[in-house]
Copies of this chain bind each other. A is one copy, B any other.
Amino acid sequence: MKDILDRNQNKAEEVRTLLREKKVMMVNIISSPGAGKTTLLERTCEALADKTRIGVIEGDVATDRDARRLQKYNIPIVCINTGGGCHLDSHSISKVLGHFALDNLDLLFVENVGNLICPSQFDLGETFKLAVVSTAEGDDKPAKYPMLFTGARAVILNKTDLIPYTNFNVAAFESDIVSLNPGITIIKTSATGGEGTDRWIGWLTSQLESFRAG
């Protein structure tokens, strides 16, 4: 396992160096199945498509359903089917980068396989990891699955529209996250309805500006 992680890390650094040269910011989105990653990407494409050149790598165990949902935005999309594999690794990312015209790209999203555990352990060469949690999963997820939240730059708390129908405790959720990662940014959204996505887009745009300047 250590050998696998070491080889993954070496390739991740290669990917990171290449994307740095090409000035492409890569965001590795990780969540449980059904937290709303694809819907968040839909809102993001709608908000940014005119001013930011976006590409997407879709990681899925099976089917190309998520990739097909994004085709309407006329952006470059590559679908990686892991055939049962529980995460993407830096080698799989490196292999598909050639399908993108990196000189014509500002922002590359990786929608990782839906899994709160394994993807957290594999650096893909991303600029940063983004965690997405649905309120319907319960407020105890950061404490029970700490690795992702320790390593992510921001967490989207999605499906806030469902809070009135659950026993989700926002204060407990935020307190657990901050004790794992005091510097993390927490953004609340309901991606289906669009609430809160303006704050997400504003934060993302500021990250892109810092990345380009840095």
Classify the interface of chain A: helix, strand, loop or mixed.
Answer: loop
Interface window among A18-26, A91-99, A135-143: A135-143
A residues in contact (CB < 8 Å) with B: 32-35, 60-63, 65-66, 84, 86, 113-118, 121, 134, 136-138, 140-141, 143-147, 159, 161-162, 165-167, 192
**Contact assessment for B86 and A137 in the assembled complex, using a CB-CB cutoff below 8 Å:** no
Which listed residue, B113, B136, B143, B165, touches A134 by the CB 8 Å rule? B136
List chain B residues, Cβ under 8 A from A146.
61-62
Distance to closest chain B CB from A142 (angstroms) = 10
List chain B residues, Cβ under 8 A from A116.
32-33, 114-115
List chain B residues, Cβ under 8 A from A35.
137
